[in-house]
Structure 1
Amino acid sequence: MNYFNASEEEFSDWKWQYRHRIETVEELEKLIQLSETEKEDIKKALEVFPMAISPYYASLIDPTDPNCPIRMQAVPSSAELKKSSWELEDPLCEDKDSPSEESCITHRYPDRVLFLISNRCGMYCRHCTRKRRVGNREYDYSEKVIREGLEYIREHPEIRDVLLSGGDALLVSDERLDWLLGELFDIPHVEIVRIGSRVPVTLPQRITPELCEILEKYPSVWLNTHFNHPKEITPEAKKAMRMLAKAGVPLGNQSVLLRGVNDCPMVIKKLCHELLKIKTRPYYLYQCDLSFGLEHFRTSVSRGIEIIEMLRGHTSGLAVPTFVVDAPGGGGKIPVGPNYLISSSDTGVVLRNYEGVICMYPEPEAYSWECQQACSICDKHPGLKSGTGIAKLYDEENDIIALEPESLERKKRF
């Protein structure tokens, strides 16, 4: 497919790919077969949610198959306009957990923050949870906003882990990324920086020797990408991931469970095996979020649990991601999966394995735990001891025996 009349050098240039993204129905119909009804449906969807597909990713689409898993992730459909009563503009309440409306920081978990640095993407994924902001206007966050984010991190010594995202965190310039990483690692309490990026999937040409050289400079940079289907693991994607691995970047993958794309145990199993072959750990399998226009992508949670059931024990543990529901209302990631614990008592626990074998594991006859000696770990990390939420119940220094919501109805009766 080369209706762009691009040279091999041009097609291999990520900046050329970005400039030539497919954004209109007229461009799209040169690549794939579209009926008149489909064209009208796409135009209607584009009035609400824009389209941008890199030429590279478009080249992976089967032009004659409307159910192609690549096409479903890239091409708009009228189903995006059918809104469910449950769908939300900001389902994860990222804005609510920000210091201010203008901030690029979301601080939800105790020791880590989300740091948005770009509103650019190599492709607008149809299942994007940030449809409210990505694609409406492409930009990099201003230096002023970025510096305010850095200052927030400096002022909060509990933050040890920073996740750079967007948009796509790798669609800022090499120079800007280098400067930002340098600033972050100059903060004494920042231990690791994670980068969230889908460019290895949709724009693998962005992974250049120059970029890898920058990432290699810093001691603990991790990268999580977003492959959803084995068809996305192409020679170009493999090359990009191997370049990152060679630069010493630990690699993980976060897939989203999508109806009609990958809601099959065999597809997910194949995907996880292919990821391990390119040194990429299957990290999360997400339940699809409740963002506007995603109802047609959502599966039941029980389907995700069933898929994990078909992986655990049937392949190596390295190939089994954690299935999570990112809870609406800002509840964060909640892991869910098959239940292997049947019952428990003081003397033992009854377990089942993936084959249905049931066994009893005896508990030790006498066991209790108490800290044998004071050590510096607890002193340096008091949050690990008292914690928040359920952790409070385990803290011997607290006299809390129950946690109750502030708005508990029975408290209002008298």
Structure 2
Amino acid sequence: MSVKMWQDEQQLEWEKRDIALRRAAELKDQITEYLEQKKSIPDGFEIQGEYTKAKSELLEYFNATEEQWNDWRWQMANRIRDVRILSRLVRLESDEFNDIEKVGRQFRWAVSPYYLALAIAGGKEGPVWRQAIPSGLEILDRYGKEDPMGEEFTSPAAGITRRYPDRLIINVTNQCAMYCRHCQRRRNIGDIDVHKPRQVLEASLRYIRENPEIRDVLITGGDALLLSNKQLDWLLTELDNIPHVEIKRIGSRIPVTMPQRVTSQLCSVLEKHPPIYMNTQFNHPLEVTPEAKKACDMLIKAGVVLGNQAVLLKDINNDPHVMKRLNHSLLRIRVKPYYIFHAKAVKGTRHFITGVQDGINIMEQLRGFTSGLAVPTYIINAPNGYGKTPILPQYILENKNDHVTIRTWEKRVIPYSVSG
């Protein structure tokens, strides 16, 4: 090779490297804002000092031990559901006390000691607190519906909700570790905790057996993991014995609201019935705690595949930086972000509902700006039980069969020929 040829090749390599360095600088600039904002969006690992302090105060109030705290039965038995008890644990202004008392007459509330400690650690009126503690805004809502999903019209058999060709829901209980203030099924909560009786579950199973197109069954409620280990084992066994049921799914917020329920005994049950997929509901990075990680680790070791279905909630997570931090925190504990649900117009929850543009803006700031693993699908549930509809930014600007004009995640408009 001549000296001139070598010099020309070197010059070309330098030019390529210069282009790559300038592009890298552009990309680095695009993440600067998030990295700065991230400093003010802690996750549950970063508030352990505040959580430990709040936990200690609750243990002192209940005169309880660390062993009791880690027992999910103790957590359930000591859920806080009386504003007078709450006021002894957290300072409440008189109007706050009165609002919680009024809401409680219309909408049931309860929160596990674990989640209350986390709410206190995250700050009164913070993103965790708002999900757990009643607000006076709940009884001012005149527009919400009891059942915006039309579930009563999509129940072809007892305990069943069916909205799709090959899958359905078995609703097994109204019981939860915490009654989320944005709950889509708050009409089912009632005044007492009730698991569906055996005859209802048997009717649900009979419907599944008689409809061989059903290959996917979601067990939910309420919270499906609040069934006893024995009951859950029986139900999963019955589903395993239906040849056309290929997968079982469990809907549970237990890893978020009461991770103590995930015990070795529960995991032994789940391990017997693969494949099991579980979607939980982390809505804010503060909920991703060491306790939540431990529960998720145990479920994963038992062969459960974990996903997350966040709900888009006003003043809680309707911010691209918060949602990105949440999804990154979830991936660190091996939970795949799956859906972001637009909040449903349930009676008493209007103050949580955002504009659809909030969800689209979040998607704009996720796709391309972070790894695809951290990008869930933004979903609006069509009214009256017509199912999930994905909502996406507009990436195809023009479509002429073999030629399209696309808009990239950076908003670059580029013509693209499918034939190359």
The answer to whether the superposition gives a TM-score over 0.5 is yes
What residue is the counterpart of 2:262 in the other structure?
207
1:188 maps onto 2:246 in alignment: no
Corresponding position of 1:268: 323
Aligned partner of 1:185: which letter?
A: D
Which residue, out of 282, 288, 302, partners 1:247?
302
Scaled by the length of structure 1, what TM-score is found? 0.86
Aligned pairs for 1:30-179 (under 5 A) are: 30-62=88-120, 65-85=123-143, 87-100=144-157, 103-179=158-234
**Equivalent in the alignment of 2:381:** 326
Deviation of 1:67 (Å): 2.5
- AA partner of residue 137 (structure 2): A
Q: Secondary structure at the match of 1:60?
A: helix
- TM-score, structure 2 as length reference: 0.84
Query: Shift in Å at residue 346 of structure 1?
Result: 2.8
Show the counterpart of 1:361: 416
One-letter amino acid of the structure 1 residue matched with residue 67 of structure 2 = E
Structure 2 residue runs without a partner (length 5+): 1-56
Distance in 1, Cα, partners of 2:246 & 2:122 = 48
1:310 matches 2:365: yes
> Which amino acid in structure 2 is aligned with residue 186 of structure 1?
N
Q: Which has the higher helix share?
A: 2
Question: Which segments of structure 1 move beyond 6 Å, counting only runs of 4 or more?
Answer: none
Query: What secondary structure does 1:227 align onto?
Result: coil
For 2:384, what is the secondary structure of its paired residue? coil
Letter in 2 for 1:92: M
Q: In structure 2, how many angstroms separate the alpha carbons of the residues matched to 1:8 and 1:347? A: 65
CA contact (8 A) 2:173 2:195 kept: yes
* Amino acid across the alignment from 1:298: I
Indicate the SS of the match to 2:339: strand
- SS of the residue aligned with 1:307? helix
Distance 2:123 2:291 in 1: 23
DSSP 3-state at the match of 2:120: coil
Q: Matches of 1:127 and 1:50 in 2, distance apart? A: 12
1:8 is aligned to 66
Q: Cα gap change, 1:131/1:39 in structure 2, threshold over 3 Å: closer, same or farther? A: same
CA shift digits 1:105-146 (9 cap, x unpaired):
011100001101111100000000001012433111100110
**Higher RCO by CA contacts (8 Å cutoff, separation 6 or greater):** 2
Letter in 2 for 1:188: P
1:232 aligns with 2:287: yes
C-alpha spacing 1:22/1:186, structure 2 compared with 1 (3 Å):
same
CA contact (8 A) 1:32 1:64 kept: no
Alpha-carbon distance in structure 2 between the residues aligned to 1:307 and 1:214: 38
Q: Indicate if the aligned counterparts of 1:124 and 1:135 stay in contact, CA closer than 8 A.
A: no
State the secondary structure of the residue aligned to 2:106.
coil
- The counterpart of 1:21, out of the listed 71, 79, 91, is 79
**Deviation (angstroms), 1:351:** 0.6
In structure 2, the partner of 1:397 is: none
Give the conservation status (yes or no) of the 8 Å contact 1:255–1:285. Answer: yes
Q: Secondary structure at 2:365's aligned position in 1?
A: helix
Percent identity, aligned pairs only, is: 49
**Paired residue type of 1:286:** F
Q: Which runs of 5+ in 1 are unaligned?
A: 366-414
How far the C-alpha of 1:257 sits from its partner, in A, is: 0.5
**Considering only CA atoms, is the larger Rg found in Structure 1 or Structure 2?**
2
